[in-house]
Structure 1
Amino acid sequence: MTTPKEPVVIVGGGQSGLAAARATLSAGLRPVVLEAGAEPVGSWPDYYDSLTLFSPARYSSLPGMAFEGADPDRYPARDDVVAYLRRYSASIDAEIRTGTRVTAVHPRPGGGYLVHTDSGDNITAAGVVAASGSFGNPHLPVPPGRDTYAGEVRHVAHYRRPEPYAGKRVLVVGAGNSAVQVAYELAPHARVILATRSPIQFMPQRIRGRDLHHWLHVTGADLLPRAVLNRLIRHAAVLDTGVYRDAIASGLLVRREMFTAFTVRGVIWADGTDEPVDAVIFATGYRPHLDYLTPLGTLVDGMPRHVGGVSTTHQGLVHLGLEFQRSFSSNTLRGVGRDAAHVVAALAAHRSGRSRRWLQPMKRLPVRP
């Protein structure tokens, strides 16, 4: 049986964990944030140096604190986000333990959880928010022959800057924003090929003089659930002001159909030709980093069973920061706060014995945030 003094343990101190901490305090619960890194800024310091947000500052903040700066229409850089999260974490009156990695979560007889950490601590918790993100679990495909390839293979999670690739033949795999942005950045330094399974789809960054996110906001499209988005958008699209499309049209970036196998010196293309390459960078996404929930039996192929972030297998367990958790913007700075309010309300309802309705599928979202 849980007691009123037991905390809600939030696993992860990045944007999702911090949004959860704020929402937990607002709900009258006591959060304890456990962050594996050295400070509560999540994975942002580890992204590539040139990364910028695809949404303007005015649409990229967590609840209760806007981005500082004179120009709300600027696109914050990686280090701007890190500085923002530092300020945000300092503004929250919550216990935040850094350098603390959660290794396992076990159910307790009678309710609640026992959270184990790599420092040997065992924390009793009334509820758990799994907000550990996915950066620690990059998806790296294994095409035939990869083990024999003598060149460099890495995920974009471990790419930082273009200079080490100067003069090299580099293959970037992927058709999303990160793949195209990194390939474009590499092009002045290296011979770059983009390998994709289908032609790259582009979406204009600006429409009628306004950033796309302005229109997502005023139309409520940011809140559309995944089922609706899947009907509207058939393929992932790269946000573009025109520079990426022009780079491909001009030959600065060469796009080819995905290769079929590695060789010792390079790759074999779909038409059977082989080509030597010095390095392959996979920009192939991430998977939720939730191994610590394995003892609960709530994962299927590494993915949690949930409705809108509320576990369908364990009361008092919620998730935050999952891609398309409730909407298009769920795992973004601009959207995670809404999801945090939703799942923390479910935790509060669980504490008060009113949790059943939170396990029902979401019927409708409001048209505006």
Structure 2
Amino acid sequence: MEHADVAVIGAGQSGLAAAHALSQQRLRPVVLEASGRAAGSWPKYYDSLTLFSPARYSSLPGMAFPGADPDRYPHRDEVVAYLSAYADRLDADIRTGRRVTAVRQAGAGFEVEIEGGGRLAARAVVAASGSFTRPHRPALPGLEGFTGTVLHAAQYRHPEPFAGQRIVVVGAGNSAVQIATELARFATVTLAGRNPVKFARQRILGRDLHFWLRRTGLDIAPLGRLVRTPPTQLVIDDGHYSAALAAGRPDRRPVFTGADGARLLWPDGSREKVDSVLLATGYRAHLPYLTGLEGALDDSGLPRHAEGIATRVPGLTFVGLEWQRSLSSNSLRGVGRDAARIARRLAARLAGW
């Protein structure tokens, strides 16, 4: 059986940042990616997706985001190209088309099983597979009996197929507002949610919000952890989205209270025929390959960890979890800091072998 210092599961932004950090610690990572390319979930996001952080704050360690204007907001395809180029420059063994099906303990280390029968022995494991393949679909009143179309934002690409429809977008975060506003140019759209939409100004005193997040420490540990449970997610806005909601395109309502066939029931007692409900309700960590590793996950399938270090499985770590250590833990701008910390911890652990 082949052996590696560390098996890194996933070659998106988290896995690539982990591979870079491990190499800096003179460890030999093998990166196992289920898809055919090292770009993570980015190629699957909707066509118009644009980062809310400028290029200067959207880099992984060791390679600046390219382009003449560091203050622009890169779009999806730029991020895909950046991650592909980053992977090409890494001094790491990245293997695409290698879906990990199970991780098992083997002595003081691990045995990683790969779809198709492959196996890899590793002294440590970094789970960096993200959450895009596990869209969160919350229980909403009557939605199971709704006879219209129900889809998640993970299935949304562009607005043209929805032209002329009556659509309800559920959510109150950046993606929900961005998608609902885009759809409202082609359809009649309501943005529905349990919480109000809260906007944060994209530029303050001439500086992008992320400048201030970094300057104040809110974007990094430990200060960021003090506000890890805000009442609602903030939507970063240059004025475009708040103006669209103020104009009623899309309009904003509390979430519906039930469904009757293709009709949704609203809190004011009205009923309305709706063609499609789009859930922009986020994602959850997707770690099915750890289910057989005793103590790795809790009863909900979420990782048991303290700032990315598994609490019950020595040698198992995580990179890219939401709020792993800070506000920016699962973002391009922040994942490198967490990866570096994990790499240092693993290097110290493996030095004793």
The bucket for the TM-score relative to the shorter chain is over 0.9
Q: How do residues 319-338 of structure 1 correspond to structure 2 at under 5 angstroms?
A: 319-338=318-337
Judge conservation of contact 1:169–1:191 (CA < 8 Å) in 2: yes
- Deviation of the 1:271 alpha carbon: 2.6
In structure 2, the partner of 1:7 is 5
Q: How do residues 353-364 of structure 1 correspond to structure 2 at under 5 angstroms?
A: 353=352
In structure 2, the partner of 1:81 is 79
1:51-95 deviation line (CA, Å, top 9, x unaligned): 011100000000000011100000000000000001100001211
Range 256-265 or range 206-215, more displaced: 256-265
Runs (4+) off by over 6 Å: none
* d(CA) in 1 for partners of 2:297, 2:209: 35
In structure 2, the partner of 1:359 is none
In structure 2, the partner of 1:42 is 40
1:269 aligns with 2:266: yes
Judge conservation of contact 1:9–1:128 (CA < 8 Å) in 2: yes
The alignment's TM-score, normalised by the length of structure 1, stands at 0.92
Secondary structure at the aligned position of 1:86 is classed as: helix
Runs (5+) with no aligned partner, structure 1: 355-369
* d(CA) in 1 for partners of 2:344, 2:263: 52
* d(CA) in 2 for partners of 1:143, 1:323: 23
Alignment RMSD (CA, Å): 1.6
1:170 to 167, 172, 195: 167
* d(CA) in 2 for partners of 1:254, 1:217: 33
2:120 to 120, 123, 128: 123
Q: How do residues 1-369 of structure 1 correspond to structure 2 at under 5 angstroms?
A: 6-108=4-106, 110-225=107-222, 227-230=225-228, 233-297=230-294, 298-300=296-298, 301-353=300-352
* d(CA) in 2 for partners of 1:310, 1:224: 15
- Deviation of the 1:325 alpha carbon: 0.4
* d(CA) in 1 for partners of 2:217, 2:257: 41
* d(CA) in 2 for partners of 1:312, 1:181: 37
Code of the aligned partner of 2:30: V
* d(CA) in 2 for partners of 1:156, 1:9: 31
Aligned residues: 350
Secondary structure at the aligned position of 1:304 is classed as: coil
Identity of aligned residues (%): 56
* d(CA) in 2 for partners of 1:61, 1:257: 37
* d(CA) in 2 for partners of 1:213, 1:144: 37
Judge conservation of contact 2:228–2:326 (CA < 8 Å) in 1: no
- Deviation of the 1:353 alpha carbon: 3.6
* d(CA) in 2 for partners of 1:89, 1:230: 31
1:248-291 deviation line (CA, Å, top 9, x unaligned): 11222211111122221121112332211000100001000111
Judge conservation of contact 2:33–2:96 (CA < 8 Å) in 1: yes
Secondary structure at the aligned position of 2:219 is classed as: helix
Judge conservation of contact 2:225–2:325 (CA < 8 Å) in 1: no
Code of the aligned partner of 1:98: T
* d(CA) in 2 for partners of 1:70, 1:227: 34
The 3 A distance-change label for structure 1 pair 230 and 328 is closer
Code of the aligned partner of 2:346: L
Judge conservation of contact 1:57–1:76 (CA < 8 Å) in 2: yes
* d(CA) in 2 for partners of 1:318, 1:61: 22
Code of the aligned partner of 1:267: L
Judge conservation of contact 1:172–1:280 (CA < 8 Å) in 2: yes
Code of the aligned partner of 1:50: S
Range 287-296 or range 145-154, more displaced: 145-154
